[in-house]
Chains A and B, each alone.
Chain A
Amino acid sequence: MWKVPHGVKLEQMKRPSLEKPIAALTGNDKKQERGIFKLPEKKVSSPLILSAVGQAGITDETDGRRLYDKLVLLKSGKTDTLAACCFDDDPYASSSEAVFAENRKKVLTGLGYAARACGAKKTAAIVGGSAGCGADGKVRVIRADPSRYPALAPAECELKRCGSYAVIGAQACAAVYDAVKNRKPQSETVVTVAGDGAPDWFNCRVKIGTPISEVLGALRGDYSAVVTGSSVKGKAAKDLSEPVRADTRLLLVLKKAKARSVFPCIGCGRCTAACTQGIVPWAVLKEMESGRADILRLPNVQRCIGCAACNVACPSCIDLCAAVQKAGRLKKSGDIYAGA
């Protein structure tokens, strides 16, 4: 059957940062980190792994949530597959790929620990394109197509076919390994520095909480804005003393923040082609702007994954994702008169 590709085509800009090894910007801080409790040498049980994850204070970089909370929730929900996201959806970010490429065994072993902690029987690794995985037969490899954003949505759909699943980040997996094997709490994260305002693009390992200005301190470029998180959904840092968090992943340094005019919807339909969830963003926007939104005319809005591919595709620079998510909340509320 002819399958129409969805998502938006975005030029991948990861190569310059992936060509170099991860730089360390942890400095010469000799202060010893307080280790977590020592785990037994034999096979570690699920409650002990959970306890280690909790003590290590690990944050999952894919959604910014505490990994301990996530694993507890997954354990109660009986998850079939736990997958490690070793691929960055963002066209500029390559931190997850760099961490995975640096030490695949560490990430996959950490994934195994996390799976044991939440009771997942199977594990999988989502990798980008034709990247090698080096996984043994126990870890299923799922390849995401990096040319289309969001690349993770089709990969997650493949996971869904095998039952319930959950995805955690590669850096979180590596942190789980460190917590279990080396008693280390999560104190560092890897961020990609990229953008036209940065003469060199690289991945660097920094202490969580380091101000952005310190990370960029070595940069000699001329820049006017720094975007954190993602080039698609990220936020411009208002103050460069903002700390780097575990889920920062990308510092996009821009020479000039382009001002874009917002037009009314010109009806090109590109947002519909971009959406992987079957939502028709232009129709949702029209319904929400009408002042009397009828939730029956808001199909599939509850499926929105917040990838903002519609925003990327929209030539009028309309925040379609916000309109769709607002419609999703309206629909979930079940208040059919809310739009009246």
Chain B
Amino acid sequence: MGAPYVKSGPSASAMLNQTLAALAAMLIVPTVRYGARPAAMAVMAVLTCAACEAFCSLMRYGKIRIDDSSFAVTGLTAVMLTPVNAPVWLPCAACAAAQLAAKAPFGRYGRPPFNIAAVAGAFAALCWPSESFTYMDPAKPFTLPPFGACEYTAAVSPAAVLKNGLKPDVQPLDMLWGTGVGAIGTTAALVIAACGLFLFIRRAASLETTVSFLLVCALLAAFFPRIACSPLTSVKYELLSGSLLFCSVFMVTDPSTSPKTFAGRCVYGALAGGLLMAVRYFGAFGQGACFAVLLADAAVPLIDNFSFKTVTVFGRRSV
């Protein structure tokens, strides 16, 4: 082991572990509310990602080598974007496709240019749209066995209602505590905010990306509301519906796929926010977080290039 023998801030492994801990904390509320099914889906997705990681390392290095917990982060994030009533194979298939197509060709954590969980979400949305966007009504009776078929009453998510130009019939408190209609980890706004605070304090996620992302989403919602209401009401419903908040904390803040400068991350966050709202307004699906993140990731090299040139042209030297 060589120098340095002191470090400031968490290592890449520690950052991943902190994100994993936050995602695991996100699983508590749905597990308490819906039983073992969310936990079972999470375990299966993580095991699928681990198996894919092991397979890819076997192909590449000739031995099984798993150095970090990025596969577990991918698995849990993909599960958070899945409805609790979806088949267990859905997030597993999405994760396998994302790991093999979007991560394996590039290598270890830090190399893939696209957010792997976003690839998984987009893959599931494109291949199995009905399974990905059919949600259950938690207010009606339901049976959710850990692995079997579910019995539930289907409901329309607030994001889908907004897509139709109507005001969602949901209490703000339901949207805050996660008792509303939506994916496993995207409905409890307060829990997401708490996890986000934890990640920002631990420096595992960058605050500027989230702030610029939310700011652009809020401005677009305020100035171009989809429903006939006050700007503030429009902002409230847009920010609390769908996977926007979850995306702002867990997906756009991925340090390996976001730009490397402060200014670059602000631009990236704003771009992702604008793209998300564009997908919501004009896209085929009511939710477009994954697509927005992927499109923004594609622009990262350009953003980095531009911000790098700005730094070198204007100079930056503190001493």
Say if the beta carbon of A308 comes within 8 Å of chain B. Answer: yes
Q: Per-residue CB proximity of B67-96 to A under 8 Å, as 1/0?
A: 110000000000000000000000000000
**Complex Cα gap A313–B67 (Å):** 20
* Closest Cβ–Cβ distance, residue A267 to chain B (whole Å): 4
CB-defined contacts of B206 to chain A, threshold 8 Å = 268
Given contacts A257-B1, A264-B108, A264-B109, contact A10 B6 (CB under 8 A): yes
Chain B interface, number of residues (Cβ within 8 angstroms): 42
Closest B residue to A263 by beta carbon equals B12
Partner of A154 from B13, B260, B319 at Cβ < 8 Å:
B319
**Complex Cα gap A303–B316 (Å):** 12
**Complex Cα gap A92–B263 (Å):** 34
Q: Which of B11, B111, B262 has the most chain A CB atoms inside 10 A of its CB?
A: B11
CB-defined contacts of A6 to chain B, threshold 8 Å = 318-319
**Complex Cα gap A252–B4 (Å):** 12
CB-defined contacts of A236 to chain B, threshold 8 Å = 1-2
Say if the beta carbon of B8 comes within 8 Å of chain A. Answer: yes
Partner of A261 from B13, B107, B311, B315 at Cβ < 8 Å:
B13
Say if the beta carbon of B35 comes within 8 Å of chain A. Answer: no
Report whether B318 and A316 are in contact in the complex, using a CB–CB cutoff of 8 Å.
no
Report whether A315 and B15 are in contact in the complex, using a CB–CB cutoff of 8 Å.
yes
Say if the beta carbon of A50 comes within 8 Å of chain B. Answer: no
Q: Per-residue CB proximity of B286-313 to A under 8 Å, as 1/0?
A: 0000000000000000001000100110
**Complex Cα gap A110–B110 (Å):** 52
Closest B residue to A5 by beta carbon equals B318
Given contacts A236-B2, A260-B11, A315-B14, contact A283 B318 (CB under 8 A): no
**Complex Cα gap A274–B14 (Å):** 19
Partner of A266 from B255, B312, B318, B319 at Cβ < 8 Å:
B255
Chain A interface, number of residues (Cβ within 8 angstroms): 58
Q: Does more than half of chain A's interface fall in helix, strand or loop, or is it mixed?
A: loop
Given contacts A232-B3, A269-B260, A315-B12, contact A263 B68 (CB under 8 A): yes
Closest B residue to A195 by beta carbon equals B5
* Closest Cβ–Cβ distance, residue A269 to chain B (whole Å): 4
Q: Per-residue CB proximity of A246-269 to B under 8 Å, as 1/0?
A: 000000101001111101111111
Find residues 230-251 in chain A having any chain B CB closer than 8 Å to their own CB. 230-236
Report whether A261 and B109 are in contact in the complex, using a CB–CB cutoff of 8 Å.
no
Closest A residue to B312 by beta carbon equals A299
Q: Which of A225, A278, A313 has the most chain B CB atoms inside 10 A of its CB?
A: A278
Report whether B109 and A270 are in contact in the complex, using a CB–CB cutoff of 8 Å.
no
Given contacts A4-B318, A315-B14, contact A266 B109 (CB under 8 A): yes
CB-defined contacts of A312 to chain B, threshold 8 Å = 4, 6-8
Say if the beta carbon of A157 comes within 8 Å of chain B. Answer: yes
* Closest Cβ–Cβ distance, residue A69 to chain B (whole Å): 27
Give 10 pairs: A residue, B residue, CB < 8 Å, sorted on A: A153-B319, A227-B5, A232-B4, A258-B1, A264-B109, A267-B110, A267-B259, A269-B261, A276-B317, A317-B11
**Leading 9 A-B pairs by shortest Cβ distance:** A264-B110, A278-B317, A157-B319, A6-B318, A8-B8, A299-B312, A267-B260, A266-B256, A269-B260
Q: Which residues of B contact A (CB under 8 A)?
A: 1-15, 67-68, 107-111, 206, 255-262, 264-265, 304, 308, 311-312, 315-319
14 A-B pairs besides A8-B9, A263-B13 with CB distance below 8 A are A6-B319, A92-B6, A225-B1, A235-B3, A252-B5, A260-B1, A264-B108, A267-B256, A267-B259, A267-B260, A269-B259, A269-B265, A272-B261, A283-B260
